Amino acid sequence: MCGIVGFTNTVDDPDAVIEAMMDRIKHRGPDAEGKYIDSDISLGHRRLSIIDVSSSGDQPIFNEDGSKVIVFNGEIYNYREIREELINAGHIFKTNTDTEVLIHGYEEYGEKLLEKLRGMFSFVIWDKNNKELFGARDFFGIKPMYYACMGKTFMFGSEIKSFLAHPAFVKELNTTALENYLTFQYSPTEETFFKNVYKLMPAHYFKLKDGHMTIKRYWDVHFSADGEPSLDQWVNKISDVFHDSVAAHKIADVEVGSFLSSGVDSSYVAAIADVDKTFTVGFGKDEKYNEIGWAKNFSKAIGKENTSKVISPEEYWESIPMIQYHMDEPLADPSAVALYFVCNIASDKLKVVLSGEGADEIFGGYNVYSDPDGTAYDRLPRTIKRGIGKIAAKLPARRGVNFFVRKGKDVEERFIGNAYMFTPEQRKELLKITTSAPAPQQLTKRYFDRVKSMDDVTKMQYLDLHMWMAGDILLKADKMSMANSLELRVPFLDKEVMALAEKIPTKYRVTHSEGTEETKYITKYAMRLAAKKDTPEQTAKTAAKKKLGFPVPIRVWLKEDKYYSLVKNTFESESSGQFFNKEPLIRLLDDHKNGKADNSRKIWTVFIFLVWYKVYFENNGAY
C-alpha cells in the first residue's frame, strides 16, 4: 500500500515540486520514497512495504529497456500467476513485486491487462516513446485516484491534498458538490469539493496523450440470477469462494490482522482468516455503542488476541479536524472517526488488516433491502399506494407517516442510497448560495437505467455498489487506514466473490422471516448461512445478531450542553454565514436538543462541512 503523485512538466523546478507533493502524503508510505523526472513528466511514490519488503521493491519501477515507468498503489493478489505467464512470454523480471507484473503486463496486454487482475489498485504508467500516460483504478474503487487539469498542467494523485503543493493548482470551492453533499452526506459524482478536481471513477482507465484525455469503463457488475442451484448449494459456493478470497488477501511478507465488530461480516473474516490479532473500538459502557465485550468473547472463542480501545467523547470531538484533513473531502459518516481509532490501535502492532466492507452491498445486507415487498401493504395496487403516499406527504413528518410516503413511491423515486439527509427543498432553505446541483434522482438515474428490468432489491444493490460504497464506505476505509500507515484489505470486495454473488437469486440474498430458525435471517441470507455453517459456534451466533458496526452516540452527545454549544458556535460563525441561513440551522439544533426530533445526522452533515472548510480554506490545509 502506498501513495502516488505526478504531473506533466510545466514548472521550473519539478524536483522540488514532486518532493513537496510526496511530503503531503508521507503517511501513505513512510518506509521509502522514489521519483522519476524527465522533460515531459514527474512521478512520485511513497511506499509502505508489504510484498518484497527489500529495497528492490521501491518505486518507480521500469520495464526491461527503461521505456516505461510505473507508480502503483495497491495489491495484486494473483500477481504470481500473471508473472509466470509473462516469464513464459519472454519478459525478464528484476524484482518479486506485483508492481513489476503490472508494467510488464501492460507491455504484453495493453489495457486488456485490467481484465486479468485480481486486487485493489490505482496506478499510472508513463510510456516515454509514445509520450502517453495510462492510469487505472480498481473494480470497486478501493484505492483512490484524483486528477486535475490546471492551465497546461495535468496532475494526479492518491490524495487531493498533494495538489496543494503544486504552483499551478488553483484552490476553489465547488459549491455544486456542497449542495449534492447535503443530500447524500458524501460527494456523489466525479466532481470533488475542489473545482476542476475529479475522481477517476471505479473500474475506469484513462489515457493522456498530446494534452487529450480519454476515459473508459472496463468492468461492471452484471446481476443475472441462476435459479438452478439449491440454497444449500449456494451456501457451499459462497463458502468456497470466500475461503479462496481470504487466502488471497492474506498474501503478504508481513503480519496480517483483522478488524472485529459484533457483526457477521467482520466475524466471518476473522474466523476464516485465522489471524493472530483482532482490533475493536467502542464508546462508553452502553452495549448500543460498545461492541468490545462481544469482540473479546468472540476472539477468545476462536483463540485469538483482541486489542480494544474505548474512545472518549473528548478524543472523538478533538480528532474531527484532523480526520477531515485526511479525508480530503467532507464525509458526514460519524463512523469514520471510530474507524480512524481502530486503525490507529492496529497500526501499533502490524501493517495489514482485513475488514468486512462490501458484504452488505454484494450479498444484500442492508435492512432497507428487505423493505420493497416485506409487508401486506406492499401487495396493494400501485395506484392506491401512490394516492395514500401523496396524502401522507402533506402531513407532519413522523415515522408512521413516512412509511406511507415511502411506499407511495417507486424505488427510483425514493432510494438514493443508505443516507438521505436533506431533500432538495430542505437544502434550498438552508443554503444562501445558488448552485447548479441537480435533483438527487438525476444523479441516480444513470445507474437505475442500467438495471431497469431487475427487481427492487437488485436495483438498490446496484446503486449502492456504484455510489454509496465508493463514495462513503471505501473513501473512509482508505483514508482512515492510510492516515495511520496501515493497509486495509477487503476480501468481500473481490472480483471472484462478486462473480458468484451476481448469480445468487434475490430470494437467497433477502428473504422474509417465517419465525423459524432456518428463515429468520432477512438480509444476506445465504451468506449468513455460509458463516453459520463453516465457522465456530461463536461466529454462527453473530449471524443472528443485529449489525452495529462501530456505532457512534452522536445523537446523545448533541443534547449535551458542551457539544451543543460547540456546534452552535460553528453554525453561527462567519464561515457558516457564507453558505447557510442561520435560522433553519439553529432550529435543527434546538429541536434536537429539546427532543422534538432526531436531527443528529442532518446537524452532523452541516457541521462536518464547516470543519472541513476551515481546515482547507481558512487554515490552508492545516489542522
Angle at 331 between CA 326 and CA 337, to 5 degrees: 65
Beta strand 119-127 with 132-137: parallel, antiparallel or unpaired?
antiparallel
All residues at 6 or more sequence positions from 230 whose CB lies less than 8 Å from its CB, including other chains: none
Q: Are strands 197-199 and 487-489 parallel, antiparallel or unpaired?
A: unpaired
Would you call 290 helix, strand, or coil by DSSP?
strand
At which residue does the C-alpha cell 472517526 appear? Answer: 337
C-alpha gyration radius of the chain: 24
- Grid coordinates representing 61 are 519501477
How far is the C-alpha of 353 from the C-alpha of 497, rounded, in Å? Answer: 19
Query: How deeply is 434 buried, as exposed, middle or buried, from its count of CB atoms within 10 A (0-12, 13-18, 19+)?
Result: exposed
Say whether the peptide bond before residue 60 is cis (omega within 30 degrees of 0).
yes
- DSSP assigned state of 250: T
Q: Yes or no: say if 493 and 473 are a contact pair by the CB < 8 Å rule.
A: no
* Residue in the block written with cell 492510510: 482
How many other C-beta atoms are found inside a 10 Å radius of the C-beta of residue 195? Answer: 15
Amino acid found at 36: Y
Q: Which of 2, 43, 246, 346 is catalytic?
A: 2
Cα–Cα distance for residue pair 479/339, rounded to 1 Å: 10
Strand ordering across the sheet containing 61-62: 61-62, 68-76, 119-127, 132-137, 204-209, 212-217
The CA angle 178-182-183, to the nearest 5 degrees, is 125
Instruction: Evaluate whether 211 touches 10 at the Cβ level (below 8 Å).
Output: no
User: 569 phi and psi, to 5 degrees?
Assistant: -60, -40
- Sign of the alpha-carbon dihedral angle for 280, 286, 289, 291: positive
Residue 561, amino acid: D
Pairing of strands 68-76, 61-62: antiparallel
Helix (H) or strand (E) holding 405: helix 399-407
Instruction: Report d(CA 248, CA 258) in Å as an integer.
Output: 15
Name 153's bridge partners. 150
Q: End-to-end distance of the chain based on CA atoms, in angstroms?
A: 25
Residue 2 appears among annotated catalytic residues: yes
Residues designated as active site: 2
